[in-house]
Amino acid sequence: MGLKKEDVSVSMLWPIRKSIVTRGYDWEEFCTKAGIEGGLLSQTEARIEAGRFEQIVQAAADFTEDHAFGLHQGQAMNLADLGVLGYVMLHSETIGEALAAYQKYNYVVCSQYNAKLEYADGHALIHLVLNHSAQGGFSRHCIEDMAVSLVQIMLQLSGKPIKIMGVNFSHERQAAEEEYMAALGVSPQFKQEGNGLAFNVEVLDYPVLGADTRLLGVFKTIAEEVRLKLTQGAVLSSRLREWILSCMPSYFPTLQDAAREMKLSARTLQARLKDEQTTYNRLANEVRRELAIRHLAQPEHTVAEIAYLLHFSEPSSFHAAFKKWTGTAPGEYRQQLFA
């Protein structure tokens, strides 16, 4: 199944729904006014054209009569709202690694927006960018939501104050200055060439506090199922499978990584695995395969999100690997499960 970069996942509607409902408005009434198809949110793999999504965001701002809708959306963001992405970020060691996971998620899952991290004069700069060119540029509410959400992500992951040193927006000021001060801690510069925020580079080294049990429950269950199935048999192979599984939330380990962990040279590790009639690549793919099968049985996660979770560079690579493992494409496999 092909994915268009100009599309966004239907899951991006969930925070909008949450915001509308918690403010006391009727979601069904909003869907009617915004022209949102009934039952769209229940279609896990559904995509929304980026321009259409931005229209929905603007419709939500009009419906709630909130001129700072994007800012307030960002302030209300919770890591649990991020699903698969939140899970991976919580397994990062530092804020810098978590931001790298954020960037990779937006690339793999084909979100219209992304964040590019750069360094200059002791500052870290996050440029808010479009994955592909779009007519009309950025939606004001979407880009302000993204900027504030990133601040909230860093705050919630580290538990430390995040002092923002400057914010640039390409659009004109639309909300009151106090709204921007409350959301970002600074007054942004408007009508700039780009969109982004700057903060002290040391923030990237802040450690991530740890896992949120509410978010990790389903993932922990899946990992335990895979561990019980795969950690049997030959001693070294079992140890390696369990270690690979423990690494998977944050990265997909290489043979060299495994050799360092086992305190062996790569050549010696390969030789010992050969004695157990296997290879490192085979063990690593066994872990990926079992995780993929179990995640596909959870309908709330898209195939693209599962590809990201298993550290494939893009959904097409996951499709090819899964078909090689099972003879069936992941989408077809899931359809058979729920037929």
Domain that holds residue 288: 213-337
Q: Are residues 138 and 75 in the same domain?
A: yes
**How many residues would you count in the chain?**
339
The C-alpha atoms of residue 31 and residue 22 are separated, in whole angstroms, by 16
Is the domain of 239 the same as that of 189? no
Mean of all residue pLDDT scores within the chain: 88
DSSP element (H, E) containing 199: strand 196-200
CATH number at residue 308: 1.10.10.60
pLDDT of residue 216: 57
**pLDDT at residue 3 greater than cutoff 50:** no
30 and 98 in a single domain? The answer is yes
Residue at 185 is within a domain: yes
Overall number of domains in the chain:
2
Residue 1 domain-assigned (yes or no) = no
**Is the pTM above the cut of 0.95?**
no
Contact 71, 183 (CB under 8 A): yes
237 token code pair: 């192979």
pLDDT of res. 300: 82
**Whether residue 92 is found in the same domain as residue 61:** yes
pLDDT at 136: 52
In this structure, what CATH number is given to the domain that contains residue 34? 3.90.1520.10
Q: Are 180 and 325 found together in one domain?
A: no
Tell me phi and psi for residue 60, to 5 degrees: -65, -40
Q: Which pLDDT score, from 0 to 100, does residue 1 have?
A: 41
Q: What is the pLDDT of residue 21?
A: 95
- Please give the biggest Cα pair distance in the chain: 69
C-alpha distances in Å from residue 338, one per residue of 1, 299, 333: 18, 9, 9
Q: Do both 104 and 153 map to the same domain?
A: yes
pLDDT at 320: 96
Q: Could you tell me which residues come within 8 angstroms of residue 69 by beta carbon, excluding any fewer than 6 positions away?
A: 19, 57, 60, 61, 141, 145
Query: Does 98 share its domain with 138?
Result: yes
The answer as to whether 328 is a domain residue is yes
pLDDT of 338 higher than 90: no
Residue 86 clears pLDDT 70, i.e. is over it: yes
Q: In this structure, are 242 and 117 located in the same domain?
A: no
Instruction: Read off the pLDDT of each residue in 138-145 and give the average, rounded to a whole number.
Output: 88
Q: Which residue among 181, 205, 229 closes a domain?
A: 205
**37 and 119 share a domain?**
yes
The pLDDT value recorded for residue 2 is: 44
Residues 159 and 227 in one domain: no
Mean pLDDT of 226-234: 71
For position 4, what pLDDT does the model report?
Answer: 46
182 & 253 share domain: no
Closest CA to 144 of 117, 121, 122, 176: 176
Domain edge (last residue) among 150, 177, 205: 205
Encode pLDDT of 284-320 as tens digits: 999 999 999 999 998 888 999 999 999 999 899 999 9
- Residues contacting 185, CB < 8 A, separation 6+: 151, 163, 164
Same domain, 250 and 307: yes
Per-residue pLDDT, 96:
94
Instruction: Burial-class residue 231 by CB neighbours within 10 Å (0-12, 13-18, 19+).
Output: middle
Selected residue with higher pLDDT from 330 and 219 = 330
In a domain, residue 232? The reply is yes
